[in-house]
Amino acid sequence: MQNDAVYMARALELAQLGRFTTSPNPNVGCVIVLNDQIVGEGFHLRAGEPHAEVHALRMAGEKALGATAYVTLEPCSHHGRTPPCADALISAGVKRVVAAMQDPNPEVAGRGLFRLQQAGIEVEHGLMMAQAERVNQGFFKRMRTGFPYLQLKLAASLDGKTAMASGESQWITSEASRKDVQQFRAESSAILSTSATVIADNPSLNVRWSELSNGIRQEYPERDLRQPLRIILDGHNRVTPDLRLFSLPGDILLVRTERGDERWPDNIEKMVIPAHNGGIDLVVLMMQLGRRQINTIWTEAGPTLAGALLQAGLVDELVLYMAPKLLGDDARGLCKLPGLSALSQAPEFKLADVQQVGNDLRLRLLPQT
């Protein structure tokens, strides 16, 4: 139908409203239309609460009878924390369902659409699929591979340096870039850093909702503004409880290579991962974080972790803030990639987006495979 794309675009807009809260669930939006009029709208806010379709059906009431439902993800067919949305659409008497894409969750994976079809509902899928993919990059990667979607934040000078020789590095980029970072943190399931970084910079690694630029604080009730999980890699047991991040709200997951119970700080989650090349085995770590239902990881650390993640092929996206400064020859490089000797071995990236942020440039880059 002619207006299908308009209604799906609205459903995608609604799906986006869940981006700070739905993890580990996906962002999903739903619009119900009768006689070319929107009679119901909804989105998924939080795991354990009703799915997008249920909110939209509640709003539509009896007007769902004979209507078309536009959903950004295949309606679910399983009993998870909530009952199947496919059944709710069938009992409400919806006539047609248009889904942007199938749900890659193996519990669903086509069964939702099949069940609707079996009930005599007209079913279509694939409308605005590329956009629908983008609202759930993390959830989809985890469902398809078991690994989280990992973003690596880097901050560099014009000459590609990230810190002075002394290690001084915290304020290379502008205030505007630091605000921009808050947005990425807020949308992530977890923020990943290392003991080296938290000891050197003593950062909060949490979301300062008041600093987010676009009025998010007004749009969302206080209870919805969760803090992403802070994951600290501490391969050499160096983290101590006096660091700032321990005194701020939000959960912390400390990752070490040996248990040694007595020396862990209190009130944190512990994870023990085998050692690899003198550090934590990052591939095993990511598998475990996927199992722990972490969809997206925002990484803020130094050149060692950056290089190791890149070499292990675990980075899905680089977000590079480039400040118009020169730090000179003695400054430190952006990421440690030992053993590169030929240009043919140099990792390459595809530029996905470039934006000016204050006086800095923000580049979003995807590894070339």
Which of Zn ion, ligand AOF, none does 105 bind, CB closer than 5 to 8 A by kind?
ligand AOF
Nearer to Zn ion, 50 or 302 (CB): 50
Nearer to ligand AOF, 82 or 174 (CB): 82
Q: Are 353 and 363 in contact (CB under 8 A)?
A: yes
* Three-class DSSP category at 207: coil
Beta bridge partners of 30: 42, 71
Considering the complex, what minimum distance in angstroms separates the CB of residue 43 from ligand AOF?
Answer: 7
Handedness of CA 198, 201, 205, 206 (dihedral sign): positive
| Per CB under 5 A, 98 contacts Zn ion | no
Which of 41, 53, 74, 187 does the annotation list as catalytic?
Answer: 53
Core vs surface per residue 203-240: b (16+ CB within 10 A) or e: bbbbbebebbeeebeeeeeeeeebbbbbbbbbbeeebe
Binds 44, which of ligand AOF, Zn ion, none (CB < 5 to 8 A, cut-off by type)?
ligand AOF
Report the residue from 12, 44, 97, 101 that binds ligand AOF according to the rule CB under 6 A.
44
Q: Residue 80 class from Cβ within 10 Å (0-12 exposed, 13-18 middle, 19+ buried)?
A: middle
Q: Does 52 bind ligand AOF (CB under 6 A)?
A: yes
Query: Crossing angle of helices 111-118/85-92, nearest 10°?
Result: 20
Nearest alpha carbon to residue 26 among 139, 112, 128: 139
Smallest distance from ligand AOF to CB 211, Å: 28
From the CB of 54, what's the least distance to Zn ion, in Å?
7
We find the least distance from the C-beta atom of residue 216 to ligand AOF, in angstroms, to be 21
Q: Decide if residue 144 touches ligand AOF (CB under 6 A).
A: no
Contact code string over 75-114 relative to ligand AOF, x by CB under 6 A: xx---xxx--x-----------------x-x--x------
15, interface contact from Zn ion, ligand AOF, none, CB < 5-8 Å by kind? none
How far is residue 116's CA from residue 171's CA, in Å, rounded to a whole number? 54
- Residues annotated as catalytic are 53
